[in-house]
Amino acid sequence: MSGPALKRVDSHSAIHEAALNEAIELTNMLDTLYQENEQEKALELAYVLIEQWETRTLAHADAEENGLYKDLVDEDPEVKDDITALTRDHDLLRLIVDEIKEKLPETGLNDALIQRFQSLIIVDELHNKKEMEVLPDHDH
């Protein structure tokens, strides 16, 4: 079973928004440091940002997949395709984070990795929008 906060659209949305806003802020800081050629600080922040994605967004994704998503399909089998798509979004986020983690020690921070950090935000924004459409509104 998933926790009550995940099942309530308003609180679930707040969880997503907080994590995403934090990621956006850190990514903007990362980009600024990179543009200002602050390589050491930028690299440090890149590792912080990886950890932020893993501990906030991806940990939340794991919780959704292990509880909420299963519950939603049990309650309404017609949402199965949407749940499959949402799970694929999580997989894309994981793949991008893993790619950043693999390449960062090899190449250091570069434009391609900055773009990957930015792509995490775009995938997550689209995912959150779709998830809010799929979640039943238990509050009304």
DSSP 70-121: HHHHHH-GGGHHHHHHHHHHHHHHHHHHHHHHHHHHHH-S-HHHHHHHHHHH
- Whether residue 16 is contained in a domain is answered as yes
What is the per-residue pLDDT for 14? 82
What is the per-residue pLDDT for 138? 42
- Whether residue 139 is contained in a domain is answered as no
What is the per-residue pLDDT for 13? 78
- Whether residue 94 is contained in a domain is answered as yes
- Whether residue 100 is contained in a domain is answered as yes
- Whether residue 140 is contained in a domain is answered as no
State pTM to two decimals: 0.89
Residue 76, domain extent? 7-134
CA dihedral 75, 84, 47, 112 (to 10 degrees): -150
- Whether residue 1 is contained in a domain is answered as no
Average pLDDT along the chain, 140 residues, taken 10 residues at a time: 53 83 97 97 98 95 92 93 96 98 96 98 95 69
Structure tokens at 17: 């928004």
User: Which residue is listed with tokens 């009304």?
Assistant: 140
Structure tokens at 26: 């850190």
What is the per-residue pLDDT for 136? 75
| Radius of gyration of the chain from its Cα atoms, rounded to whole angstroms | 16
- Whether residue 93 is contained in a domain is answered as yes
- Whether residue 61 is contained in a domain is answered as yes
Based on the structure, what is the number of domains in the chain?
1
